[in-house]
Copies of this chain bind each other. A is one copy, B any other.
Amino acid sequence: MIKPSIPKGTRDFSPVEMMRRNYIFQTIRSVFERHAYLPIETPAMENLSTLMGKYGEEGDRLLFKVLNSGDFTQGVEMTEPSPVRLATKICEKGLRYDLTVPFARFVVQHQNELVFPFKRYQMQPVWRADRPQKGRYREFYQCDADVIGTNSLLNEAELMQITSEIFQKFGIDVVIKVNNRKVLSGIAEVLGEADKITDICTAIDKLDKIGKENVCAELLERGISEAAIEKLQPFFDFGGTNAEKLHKLSEVFANSEIGTKGVEELRKMLEYADYLNINTNIEIDITLARGLNYYTGAIFEVKALNVSIGSISGGGRYDNLTGIFGLKNVSGVGISYGAERIYDVLNELELFPKSLENPVKALFINFGEKEELYALSALQVLRNAGVTAELFPDKAKIAKQMTFANSRGIPFVIMAGEDEMKDNVFTFKNMETGEQQKLPIESIVECLK
């Protein structure tokens, strides 16, 4: 018999991992809810027609497709030479690739039941047939908050406030990098390459990773003129405070309407943020572009300090998201937190609360039939007092039961044989120090509460 396994890029989660993951989800959820974001969920499977063409050609390739039920070959030319085309004929459904497109689909499908502006959060797994590697999985969770149907920059500020609160709760020091798509458009305009904005953004987005020289080489390759690249130089070393950056940008954009609009939006958003006393560093980064394809206003990215991990969260404003499903002129802004990245950071910085490790506070040793019933009564007392405890279910050797307590990290063991039963007490043993004393159950409750 073959040793059982799971598909590559997927994971089982042990109890310790689950408790840590639940702590992450619960922390994020509590902040979302306090800010009046409401939960929704969408099905794991979407119609392929909903998903295809929304993530570019590579995205289409990385979608997991679900084979039609029954005789999927019926009426299909199975010798069709293109596997891509054949796949769409034998598969109508695919697994969710992110939470944004399903959300857009949800909003359009339920537009008559929804009241706008609609603030929703969603925390569900997504699936991508990416090549698995360290920290990248084929099944992973996204935690998204989006508000749709409002243009107010208050929403941008609130998302930064939410971000700040979440990472403060985790104890992770972060910087929130912000930019605005209109600033990027302004830059492209100033360079005289307005129509090449996608190329420019794709290239300068890599500044962090590949450095200035390589970015310039890539720009040249993408057909940006040397003169334009020359003009771009000052933007690479765009230092100073946010106020200084805004001032410099407004000068640069003296003749760019869209650039000026971007600067105004950035300024207003930061004013709101100031007003909300956001307790996290917010830094304008004019090279920040992220995906870009659908962002039209603010762009966010959150980076953890003190760890060598990339961005742990990102988002932005998109004016046309629901347009792909036929609902025009609905603007939204959202942010997404990656549970896996946050997990890795908390782990590396040893920031998981110790309380997550030992849900079970005490183990009753099972000495036999009569003793078992005596222990069972006491177990009820503990549980009713809100203490998680358990009775070893079998009359196994004491050494085995002690080993069980040890390997499970259960901090206390409770024993009762004939002597204890006579005196109506229990031997209460601290597994770390080895200390033990005889106590009535009420005193044990006090110790464990």
- Which residue numbers of A lie inside 8 Å of B, CB to CB? 1-7, 10-15, 18-19, 21-22, 33-36, 38-47, 49-50, 61-62, 64-67, 69-73, 78-79, 83, 86-87, 90-93, 95, 105-106, 108-110, 113, 115, 117, 119-120, 125, 127, 129, 138-139, 147, 150-152, 154-155, 272, 275-277, 325-326, 359-360, 372-373, 376-377, 380, 383, 386, 388-394, 404, 407-408
Q: What's the least CB distance linking A334 to chain B, in Å?
A: 14
A75-B61 Cα distance, complex, nearest whole Å: 20
Chain B residues whose C-beta falls within 8 Å of the C-beta of A7 in the assembled complex = 43, 45-47, 92-93
Q: What's the least CB distance linking A377 to chain B, in Å?
A: 8
Chain B residues whose C-beta falls within 8 Å of the C-beta of A64 in the assembled complex = 45, 66-67, 69
Q: What's the least CB distance linking A366 to chain B, in Å?
A: 8
Knowing A66-B65, A129-B69, A277-B380, the reply to whether A5 touches B47 (Cβ < 8 A) is yes
CB atoms of A404 and B326 under 8 A apart: no
A389-B119 Cα distance, complex, nearest whole Å: 12
Closest 10 CB pairs of A and B: A10-B43, A15-B38, A152-B393, A36-B390, A18-B39, A1-B326, A69-B129, A65-B67, A13-B41, A4-B105
Chain B residues whose C-beta falls within 8 Å of the C-beta of A42 in the assembled complex = 6, 12-13
Complex partner residue of A139 from B44, B113, B326, CB under 8 angstroms: B44
Chain B CB within 10 Å, residue with most, of A47, A66, A115: A66
CB atoms of B6 and A155 under 8 A apart: no
Chain B CB within 10 Å, residue with most, of A69, A110, A151: A69
Chain B residue with the shortest CB-CB distance to A362: B36
A113-B389 Cα distance, complex, nearest whole Å: 22
Q: What's the least CB distance linking A428 to chain B, in Å?
A: 18
Q: What's the least CB distance linking A280 to chain B, in Å?
A: 15
CB atoms of B376 and A275 under 8 A apart: yes
A37-B22 Cα distance, complex, nearest whole Å: 15
Complex partner residue of A12 from B10, B47, B110, CB under 8 angstroms: B110
Complex partner residue of A154 from B38, B62, B372, CB under 8 angstroms: B372
Q: What's the least CB distance linking A17 to chain B, in Å?
A: 8
Chain B residues whose C-beta falls within 8 Å of the C-beta of A86 in the assembled complex = 73
A189-B380 Cα distance, complex, nearest whole Å: 40
Q: What's the least CB distance linking A373 to chain B, in Å?
A: 6
Knowing A34-B383, A79-B79, the reply to whether A109 touches B12 (Cβ < 8 A) is yes
Complex partner residue of A45 from B10, B19, B38, B108, CB under 8 angstroms: B10
Copies in the complex: 2
Chain B residue with the shortest CB-CB distance to A405: B115
Q: What's the least CB distance linking A141 to chain B, in Å?
A: 10
CB atoms of B6 and A46 under 8 A apart: yes
Chain B residues whose C-beta falls within 8 Å of the C-beta of A71 in the assembled complex = 83
A303-B155 Cα distance, complex, nearest whole Å: 47
Complex partner residue of A90 from B67, B276, B390, B408, CB under 8 angstroms: B67
A155-B392 Cα distance, complex, nearest whole Å: 10
CB atoms of B154 and A4 under 8 A apart: no
Chain B residues whose C-beta falls within 8 Å of the C-beta of A93 in the assembled complex = 7
Q: What's the least CB distance linking A263 to chain B, in Å?
A: 19
Chain B residues whose C-beta falls within 8 Å of the C-beta of A35 in the assembled complex = 383, 388, 390
Q: What's the least CB distance linking A161 to chain B, in Å?
A: 9
Q: What's the least CB distance linking A34 to chain B, in Å?
A: 6
Chain B residue with the shortest CB-CB distance to A407: B115
Chain B residues whose C-beta falls within 8 Å of the C-beta of A115 in the assembled complex = 404, 407-408
Chain B residues whose C-beta falls within 8 Å of the C-beta of A139 in the assembled complex = 43-45
A275-B65 Cα distance, complex, nearest whole Å: 52
A14-B275 Cα distance, complex, nearest whole Å: 33
Q: What's the least CB distance linking A295 to chain B, in Å?
A: 19
CB atoms of B390 and A4 under 8 A apart: no
CB atoms of B109 and A3 under 8 A apart: yes
CB atoms of A393 and B117 under 8 A apart: yes
Q: What's the least CB distance linking A91 to chain B, in Å?
A: 6
Knowing A18-B38, A79-B79, the reply to whether A109 touches B155 (Cβ < 8 A) is no
CB atoms of B40 and A154 under 8 A apart: no
Chain B residues whose C-beta falls within 8 Å of the C-beta of A61 in the assembled complex = 69
16 extra A-B contacts, CB within 8 A, seeds A14-B40, A67-B91 = A6-B43, A6-B45, A6-B105, A7-B46, A12-B106, A13-B40, A14-B110, A21-B41, A34-B386, A38-B359, A44-B95, A62-B69, A65-B66, A67-B90, A117-B393, A151-B394
